[in-house]
Amino acid sequence: MVPPAIQAAKVLKEHGIHALVLNARFVKPLDEDMILKLCEAIPHLVTLEENVLMGGFGSAVLELFSQKSIQKTVHRMGIPDRFFDHATPNELLSMCNLHPEGIVKFVQEKLGKPFKKSSPVSLVSLPL
C-alpha cells in the first residue's frame, strides 16, 4: 500500500493537501512513538492495509489510541467484512478503494470538501 499511498499523496498535493506517508513496516511491535508523534503533529490520520479491516493494522492503531486515551478519529482503509471472488488483483484493490484514486476519494470524503489549505493528513500505510 506504500506505492499507491505515495501516488495518492501526489494527487492530494495538487488539491492543496499535504499528506505524509509513513511506511509502517513493523505491524508488531507497532512503532508507537512514531505514530503518537505523528498524530500530535498532524490532525488527520488514515491507515491503509491490504488485509481485512477487522483485527488488522488499522485496528492496532485504534487499540493504541484507546490504550493511551487519545481522542482522535482513525480513518481506516482496508478490506471490508465480506469475501471477494476471483478477479485481477487491481480490480480487487479498486473494489476496496485501495488504489490511488480510491485513496484520494476516501480522503476527500472523510475530510470534507473543499479542503482547508492548512489541513495536512498522514497516510500511515502497511507496506505491500
Q: How far is the CB of 65 from other proteins (least distance, A)?
A: 16
Q: Which is nearer to other proteins, 64 or 119 (CB)?
A: 64
Q: What residues are paired with 47 via a beta bridge?
A: 76, 124
Q: How far is the CB of 54 from other proteins (least distance, A)?
A: 6
Q: How far is the CB of 113 from other proteins (least distance, A)?
A: 30
- Name the residue with cell 481506516: 76
* Interface segment toward other proteins; rule CB under 8 A; list 10-18, 25-33, 34-42, 99-107: 25-33
Asked if 20 touches other proteins (CB under 8 A), the answer is: no
Backbone angles phi, psi at 33, to 5 degrees: -60, -45
Q: Which of 25, 68, 116, 117 binds other proteins (CB under 8 A)?
A: 25
Asked if 45 touches other proteins (CB under 8 A), the answer is: no
Residue-wise DSSP of 47-81: EEEEEESTTSHHHHHHHHHHHTT----EEEEEE-S
Q: Which of 9, 35, 74, 79 binds other proteins (CB under 8 A)?
A: 79
Phi-psi map region of 97: left, alpha, beta (phi>0 left; psi -120 to 50 alpha): left
